[in-house]
Copies of this chain bind each other. A is one copy, B any other.
Amino acid sequence: MNFTIQNVLIAIEDAYLTLDVQVIDGKIAAIAPDLDVVGNTIDGSNKLLLPGFFNAHTHSSEMWQRGIMSMLPLELWLGELYDFAPLDLEKVYLSALGTAVETLLSGGTSVVDHLVLTPGQELETIAAAVRAYEEVGIRAFIAPLIQDQSLTAGIPGGESNQNHAPYFRSTAATLEIIEEAVRQFHRPEAGISIVVAPTGIQLCSDSLFIGCIELSDRHHLCRHSHLLETKAQEKLAQEKYGCTAVQHLQRIGYLSDRTSLAHCVWLNNNDITILAQTQCTVVHNPLSNLRLGSGIAPILKYLQAGVNVSFGCDGASSNDSQDLLEAIKIGSILHNTTDPDYHNWITPRKSVEMASLGGAKGLNVADKLGSLTLGKQADLVMYDLTSLSLLPRTDPIGLLVLGRPINVVHSAWVNGKQIVSNGQVNTIKVDDLQQELFKVSQWETKRKSPTVAEIQTHYRQVMDI
């Protein structure tokens, strides 16, 4: 696992230098000109080296429905998703492979998989995802998606009295599954971490959140959750708690410097102050927020308030891809329309920092990952600057972030192990994966979601559509 990259472009302050990088025992040992070669030699000429990015929020198994989900807002979209979601474990494995490959080939070396669990096969679902991520070699933070309330409870009641079916599994049983998952799979040093991850205030009781806090404290786990993705959730929080969701989560103690919160579209200024004070991380999923019509998260306000922000692709049914560079681009430029003062706009260098160090901070690993710093683990990506999409030569990071880079990841390493070489994933056979994905799927067009038919009248009424 020792190697030396020679003559690679490295970003230094506002410029670039051509330097060598030594990696020893999986860690960055030296960055300087004309270093002695240690281990294998890697030719870095005409290439740019960056820390690996974090795909800081996704749901891998949504890959099976990407491209076919109707154009719907989250609450109805979830109805359609779950009507067609039943997955066998082989499919869970394949879509985790696909998520890992697309993330890797767009600059990501870490993925946070808010993993939908197959009922009755919860630990087997996690095992299938773990197997896929270990085979690819990407660093994985597996956040088993849990809830203890039924889907319809996630829609505000408004002035009507809504009855919701009880959830099929008890809160205690759900927490026991997570604790068992920690025992079986939580091996951060080997690149697999378990994260506690109630889906969000819309479908979780306080008991579930509090149980997750206890697990998190006992096992030093990070915390994750969706937060205020939609206007409906903002309304719902007021109905449930009489205050904002952020105020409530603060009150019960869920917010911390190892809590990352996906979406954060509908927060007010006081909520933003609370996120800053509690040192939470916002995971911005711009493509999903647009596709589902959720809104534009106030990312410039977060940055100005000192809140850490990273990027996620979100599940592939609401994106409908796992191309992290696309999420970074759109998640950066989208906000220029929200503030006329261009001094506040996100620069490409800032985007890279958010995608790397921002991701690491949100997972409490900024001391080990997220930048080209001596002693940090070598999660690295090297981009080929001779790709047509990165030409003509201008500012490499500017074009990587603001352009539409295609076939640009030349090499990637996780913990010093090379898993992409010469543009190809070298740990699994991607051709075989493609054939397998092709074989077990078919082209289709029309589907009818019974759940959407059932709930949309109420949804439209309560949302005043």
Contacts and interface: CB of A to CB of B under 8 A. Distances in A.
Interface of A: 9, 14-16, 46, 63-69, 71-73, 76, 98, 101-102, 231, 287, 289-296, 316, 319-323, 326, 330, 333-334, 336-337, 339-342, 345-348, 385-396, 398-400, 402-404, 406-407, 430, 433-434, 437-438, 440-446, 463-465
A19 to B, nearest CB: 14
Contacts of A404: 319-323, 326
A402 B291 contact: yes
A403 to B, nearest CB: 5
Contacts of A63: 392
Contacts of A14: 445-446
- Please classify the interface of chain A as helix (H, G, I), strand (E, B), loop, or mixed, using the class held by over half of its residues: loop
A446 B399 CA distance: 14
Contacts of A339: 293
A68 B395 contact: yes
Nearest to A334: B290
B296 A388 contact: no
Contacts of A390: 67
B337 A290 contact: yes
Nearest to A446: B14
Given A67-B399, A393-B441, A446 B290 contact: no
Nearest to A347: B71
What number of copies of this chain does the assembly contain?
A: 2
A439 B231 CA distance: 51
Contacts of A463: 340
Given A73-B340, A101-B388, A402-B291, A443 B393 contact: yes
Contacts of A321: 389, 403-404
Given A65-B394, A102-B389, A330-B330, A337 B443 contact: no
A68 B320 CA distance: 29
Contacts of A444: 393-395
A445 B15 contact: yes
A178 to B, nearest CB: 29
Nearest to A346: B71
Contacts of A438: 46, 386, 391-393
Contacts of A399: 66-68, 320
A196 to B, nearest CB: 30
A345 B293 contact: yes
Contacts of A391: 98, 434, 437-438, 441
A66 B46 CA distance: 18
A354 to B, nearest CB: 15
Contacts of A465: 340-341
Nearest to A63: B392
A238 to B, nearest CB: 18
Contacts of A386: 434, 438
Indicate the member of A322, A333, A388 with the most B CB atoms within 10 Å.
Answer: A333
A445 B16 CA distance: 8
Contacts of A67: 348, 390, 394-396, 398-400, 402-403
A69 B433 CA distance: 39
Contacts of A389: 102, 321, 323
The 4 tightest CB contacts between A and B, nearest first, are: A67-B399, A293-B336, A321-B404, A392-B441
A136 to B, nearest CB: 13
A87 to B, nearest CB: 11
A299 B256 CA distance: 41
Given A16-B443, A394-B67, A396-B443, A388 B102 contact: yes
Indicate the member of A68, A341, A400, A463 with the most B CB atoms within 10 Å.
Answer: A68
